[in-house]
Amino acid sequence: MILFIAIPIGSAFVQSLFIQHDQVLVLSKNCGPFGCRETTSVDIEATKELRQDSPLGKFNGIGTYLNRSHLAFAEVGNAWAVSRTFSGFLNEVLDLPFYGALMFTLTYTAVVTPLVLLLGLAIAIGVNGLPNIIKGPSIFVSLLPFLVTPLVGSLILFWMVDGDGIIGATIQLIFNDPDLSLKASTGLTWTMLIVYGIWHTLPFSFIVFYAGLQTVPVDTLEAAEIDGATKWQRTVYVVVPHLVPLITFVTLMLLMDNFRVFEPIVSFSAEAHARSLSWIIFNDLRESGNPLYGSAGATSILTIIGVIFLLTPVLIRNWRDFKLRRL
Amino acid sequence: MFLKKLILTSAVATLICSAAFAKDCGPSGQSIRILASDFPAIHAVAGTAEENCAASASEFTRNHTTEARQIMNAALTPNPAEYTSVIVANSTLTQLMNDGLVRPLNDLVEKYGADLPKNLMITIDDNIMAVAFMANSQHLFSRKDILEKAGINSIPGTYSEMIAAAQAIRKAGIMEYPIVMNMKTGWNVGESFNLVFLAHGGEFFKPGTAEPTVNSAAGIAALNTLKALVEYAHPDHLTQASNETQAIWEAGEAALGIMWGSRGSVILDDEGSSEQVTSNTVLSSAPSVKPGGIPGATLWWDGFTISKNVSDAEAEATFAALASSLNSDMVAANNDDAIWLLEGFKPGAAAEGVSATAQGGAVPYPMLPQIGLLHNALGSELSEFLKGNESAEKALADVEAAYVTAAKEKGFLQ
């Protein structure tokens, strides 16, 4: 626990409290194949001295958490003061990187989680009712989306939804609009990512529920049947209550998984329309050449706090059930 | 022609000390470890160095990876460094210099690179930090058959001519989306902005400081030009980078493109496209704002550096090996792989666009320590404007705000 969880989180937190030392810039003349020009460069000697004194950087407290890339209290306050309508205010806030990403991440989590739970349960019950001879193959087929690496799976889907791809071309044909593109509009891109998310995580909830169904007591089911309960009533009043601990478990896993949605955004090249918290961390660490460790650390900590917020209701419920059962 | 002039200046010097002697590989028994990007021209240089000098070295390794930029700072920081040399470009050299990871090469150039043209030395003040060997830039690709069909008989030279041509092609019903550009959100869209911004005479920073000045008249004009161009680009343009735009071009689905010069030879070769496309593709200078103005492009060079945190003997052997490959034999063997800045290069049709762009006075990609942060801010904040959800002023204000936040964290601004 300490080695694998506490230390990494602690170090990300400590890192997020620091920013880099002031760079000492000097004017210099830069020449190359395309001529000479004035430029600035970093005075390595002067900067090095600063770095050696305190290698972590300059202490910034929670400054990084409050800046424009994160909670941006100043910008949000300003937007509140300037905007005349609430929707204007909302637009301003969602234009800030953190809130924009939070919006997508929450939407994704809120749509994908319940749908995966419901559909997973439905498929599990359906497969469970199949004759034995085709049960094996159907389980295997239902698991397939889970076997494809997310990065590869979404890349394949990305090509399929292209205007020249099989799905994209079919959709254009159905709507009779040769310019319809799933990649060009924000709404359609979100839908595409969410559909992909459901497709990809469905097997996980399916297989867990399927395993759970094997433990439903046959006696109770038969008793209910004798009492005249319909198949639907048996599912709702016998099977589902029996699976509640599993449903809690799957919900926990799905919430954590969906809150860190990342790979499909990169593979679908969806950055223009949808960004998630994990994508922001990736962008901070990779895109600017010199990584912004403090910023990435702060976003990581905020993501962890977000996950805790989401999980708390489920955990509280779980705890209550646990205590009830012990009484 | 610009390239010819570049090459001619070096030719005389090179002729005097011709490569008739055996290759001088410097101190023997050293370990040479090269980190480089992964494309044919870089393979040619590093591969020739290996052929020449692997025998006299105790170890000769090459790591060609598209991830070079991501790992190089970490790999060069320890002492001894993981690699003795990194092959870099304008922007990546700054990234190494920001952390002081490369050494000045003046004494090594004197000893092993006397026959290399002086203008290939990338200098900061009087220190040579890298030796360039090839050039690249964006420029205009046109399909002359389609332009003619739309009633346009000259290759567009300015942005407004380019937009007018695109309009004519659409009106004639030939193509709905005749323009392709690398507009993928992130680095590519940032770079596309840079091109048009520089063509409008924009300055990225207040001279001598790290304060951004992209939210300016030039910035707004640049964004509006960009918007007018992408009106004629496929609606998916925010997902398209070089590989996609090249594919669209080779499929014959575009008539005007702003793409990298390095894609020129790939597009013009007989693979992946039809005769109709290749024979009608014309490479010309990047468009400017006014006739004869600054072409909207950034000039890039690729060159090699030597790590600071390695022994002097290893540094010397690595430099000697790489310098030994920069000659006319290597160029002759790999003529079409790059726009070489070396003696013996025969600029073909594929080099014409870059050559015209450089001659037209395009500026090099700025070698400023904080440019990566601004580029990243441009890459992530411009998409709202291009989607039509934001004004140009708001988008540029967002860019500056995002940049200032990052620059404060990196210590460039207080």
Coil, strand or helix at A287: coil
Measuring CA to CA, how many Å separate A127 from each of A113, A139, A201, B119? Answer: 21, 7, 17, 72
Contact A30 B120 (CB under 8 A): no
C-alpha span between B96 and B85 (Å, rounded): 11
Same domain as B210, residue B76: no
HEC-encoded secondary structure of chain B: CHHHHHHHHHHHHHHHCCCCCCCCCCCCCCEEEEEECCCHHHHHHHHHHHHHHCCCCCEEEEEECCCHHHHHHHHHCCCCCCCCEEEEEHHHHHHHHHCCCECCCHHHHHHHCCCCCHHHEEEECCEEEEEEEEEEEEEEEEEHHHHHHCCCCCCCCEHHHHHHHHHHHHHCCCCCCCEEECCCCCHHHHHHHHHHHHHCCCCCECCCCCCECCCCHHHHHHHHHHHHHHCCECHHHHHCCHHHHHHHHHCCCCCEEEEEHHHHHHHHCCCCCCHHHHHHEEEECCCECCCCCCCCCEEEEEEEEEECCCCHHHHHHHHHHHHHHCCHHHHHHCHHHCEECCCCCCCCHHHHHHHHHHHCCCEECCCCCCHHHHHHHHHHHCHHHHCCCCCHHHHHHHHHHHHHHHHHHCCCCC
Q: Which of residues 267-306 of A touch B (CB under 8 A)?
A: 268-273, 283, 286-290, 292, 294-295
CA A76 to chain B, closest CA, distance in angstroms equals 14
B56 assigned to some structural domain: yes
- Number of domains composing chain B: 2
Same domain as B143, residue B131: no
Q: End-to-end distance of chain A based on CA atoms, in angstroms?
A: 30
Higher pLDDT, A154 or B16: A154
Q: Are B103 and B306 in contact (CB under 8 A)?
A: yes
Question: For residue A324, what pLDDT is reported?
Answer: 80
Same domain as B389, residue B258: yes
pLDDT in tens, A96-107: 999 999 999 999
Contact A19 B100 (CB under 8 A): no
Q: Which of B132, B184, B376 sits opposite A288 (nearest CB)?
A: B376
Contacts of B385 (CB under 8 A, 6+ apart): B223, B227, B391, B392, B394, B395
Task: Name every chain A residue with its beta carbon within 8 A of the beta carbon of B88.
Answer: none
Contact B236 A162 (CB under 8 A): yes
Q: How many CA atoms lie within 13 A of B236 on its CB side?
A: 22
Q: Which of B176, B235, B410 sits opposite A292 (nearest CB)?
A: B410
Measuring CA to CA, how many Å separate B349 from each of B32, B138, B282, B340? Answer: 36, 15, 8, 14
Whole domain around residue B10: which residue ranges?
A: 2-136+299-354
Q: Which residue is listed with tokens 């997973």?
A: A120
DSSP letters for A153-222: HHHHHHHHTSTTSHHHHHHHHHHT-TT--TTTSHHHHHHHHHHHHHHHHHHHHHHHHHHHHTTS-HHHHH
* % of chain B surpassing 90 pLDDT: 80
Look at chain B and count its residues: 414
Q: Are B358 and B135 in contact (CB under 8 A)?
A: yes
Cis peptide bond N-terminal to B27, omega within 30? no
Q: Which of B132, B368, B405 sits opposite A67 (nearest CB)?
A: B405
Question: For residue B13, what pLDDT is reported?
Answer: 44
CA B11 to chain A, closest CA, distance in angstroms equals 15
Question: For residue A224, what pLDDT is reported?
Answer: 92
ipTM above 0.90, yes or no: no
Same domain as B13, residue B121: yes
Q: Which residue is listed with tokens 């918290």?
A: A277
Q: Which residue is listed with tokens 């076997």?
A: A147
Query: How does residue A288 score in pLDDT terms, banded at 50, 70 and 90?
Result: low
C-alpha span between B249 and B251 (Å, rounded): 5
Q: Are B369 and B97 in contact (CB under 8 A)?
A: yes
Task: Name every chain B residue with its beta carbon within 8 A of the beta carbon of A181.
Answer: 234-236
B205 assigned to some structural domain: yes
Question: For residue B14, what pLDDT is reported?
Answer: 45
What's the CA angle centered on B278, arms B192 and B157, to 5 degrees? Answer: 45
Measuring CA to CA, how many Å separate B213 from each of B96, B294, B398? Answer: 25, 19, 12
Same domain as B143, residue B128: no
Residue ranges in chain A assigned as alpha helix (H): 7-16, 44-53, 63-66, 73-82, 86-94, 97-128, 132-147, 150-160, 166-175, 186-213, 218-226, 231-234, 240-259, 263-267, 277-286, 293-326
Coil, strand or helix at A133: helix
For residue B7, the chain A residue with the least C-alpha distance is A33
- Written as six digits, the tokens of B31 are 């370990």
pLDDT in tens, B276-321: 999 999 999 999 999 999 999 999 999 999 999 999 999 999 999 9
Same domain as B87, residue B126: yes
B258 assigned to some structural domain: yes
Task: Name every chain B residue with its beta carbon within 8 A of the beta carbon of A273.
Answer: 238, 383, 387
Residue B19 pLDDT > 50 = no
Question: For residue B382, what pLDDT is reported?
Answer: 95
Question: For residue A52, what pLDDT is reported?
Answer: 81
pLDDT in tens, B366-378: 999 999 999 999 9
Task: Name every chain B residue with its beta carbon within 8 A of the beta carbon of A47.
Answer: 100
Q: Are B103 and B315 in contact (CB under 8 A)?
A: yes
pLDDT in tens, B150-204: 999 999 999 999 999 999 999 999 999 999 999 999 999 999 999 999 999 999 9
Look at chain A and count its residues: 327
B177 assigned to some structural domain: yes
Query: How does residue B414 score in pLDDT terms, banded at 50, 70 and 90?
Result: confident
pLDDT in tens, B81-134: 999 999 999 889 999 998 899 999 999 999 998 889 998 999 998 899 999 999
Q: Which of A30, A49, A180 to mutate to test binding with chain B, by most B CBs within 10 Å of its CB? A: A30
Task: Name every chain B residue with its beta carbon within 8 A of the beta carbon of A184.
Answer: 235-236, 238
CA dihedral angle for residue B15, residue B17, residue B20, residue B24, rounded to 10 degrees: -140
Contact A28 B208 (CB under 8 A): no
Q: What is the mean pLDDT of chain B?
A: 91
Q: Which of B6, B358, B376 sits opposite A287 (nearest CB)?
A: B376
Contact A23 B369 (CB under 8 A): yes
Q: What domains sit in chain A, N to C, each tagged with a CATH number?
A: 101-276 (1.10.3720.10)
C-alpha span between A34 and B273 (Å, rounded): 33
B29 assigned to some structural domain: yes
Contact A95 B384 (CB under 8 A): yes
Same domain as B255, residue B145: yes
pLDDT in tens, A156-173: 888 888 878 888 888 888
Coil, strand or helix at A232: helix
Residue B361 pLDDT > 70 = yes
Coil, strand or helix at A321: helix
- Written as six digits, the tokens of A280 are 């922001």
B259 assigned to some structural domain: yes
Q: Are B300 and B364 in contact (CB under 8 A)?
A: yes
Task: Name every chain A residue with its beta carbon within 8 A of the beta carbon of B89.
Answer: none
The model carries a pTM of 0.89
Question: For residue B70, what pLDDT is reported?
Answer: 86
**Chain B interface includes A184 (CB < 8 A):** yes
Contact A271 B363 (CB under 8 A): no
Query: How does residue A178 score in pLDDT terms, banded at 50, 70 and 90?
Result: confident
C-alpha span between A56 and B364 (Å, rounded): 35
Same domain as B146, residue B113: no
Residue B20 pLDDT > 50 = no
CA B56 to chain A, closest CA, distance in angstroms equals 31
Same domain as B144, residue B245: yes
Q: What is the CATH number of the domain that holds B244?
A: 3.40.190.10
Higher pLDDT, A290 or B317: B317
Question: For residue B175, what pLDDT is reported?
Answer: 94
B264 assigned to some structural domain: yes
Q: Which of A94, A281, A288, A292 to mutate to test binding with chain B, by most B CBs within 10 Å of its CB? A: A288
Q: Which of B184, B385, B409 to mutate to test binding with chain A, by most A CBs within 10 Å of its CB? A: B409
Q: Domain end: B354, B374, B398, which one?
A: B354
Contact B372 A288 (CB under 8 A): yes
Task: Name every chain B residue with its beta carbon within 8 A of the beta carbon of A48.
Answer: 100
Query: How does residue B4 score in pLDDT terms, banded at 50, 70 and 90?
Result: low
Section A270-288 average pLDDT? 89
B200 phi, psi to nearest 5 deg: -85, 10
B414 assigned to some structural domain: no
Residue B5 pLDDT > 70 = no
Coil, strand or helix at A261: coil
CA A53 to chain B, closest CA, distance in angstroms equals 16
Coil, strand or helix at A32: strand
CA B361 to chain A, closest CA, distance in angstroms equals 9
Q: Which of A20, A31, A67 sits opposite B410 (nearest CB)?
A: A20
Task: Name every chain B residue with its beta carbon within 8 A of the beta carbon of A64.
Answer: 409
Residue A111 pLDDT > 80 = yes
Query: How does residue B18 score in pLDDT terms, banded at 50, 70 and 90?
Result: very low
Same domain as B309, residue B262: no
pLDDT in tens, A189-239: 999 999 999 999 999 999 999 999 999 999 999 999 999 999 999 999 999
Same domain as B398, residue B348: no
**Chain B interface includes A179 (CB < 8 A):** yes
Q: Which of B69, B94, B120 sits opposite A33 (nearest CB)?
A: B120
Question: For residue A327, what pLDDT is reported?
Answer: 62
Question: For residue A74, what pLDDT is reported?
Answer: 92
Q: Which of A22, A33, A290 sits opposite B414 (nearest CB)?
A: A22
Helix (H) or strand (E) holding A31: strand A25-32
Q: Which of A23, A40, A47 sits opposite B208 (nearest CB)?
A: A40
Q: Which of A28, A69, A184 sits opposite B236 (nearest CB)?
A: A184
Q: Which of A24, A287, A292 to mutate to test binding with chain B, by most B CBs within 10 Å of its CB? A: A287
Same domain as B335, residue B231: no
Q: What is the mean pLDDT of chain A?
A: 90
Task: Name every chain A residue with its beta carbon within 8 A of the beta carbon of B176.
Answer: 179
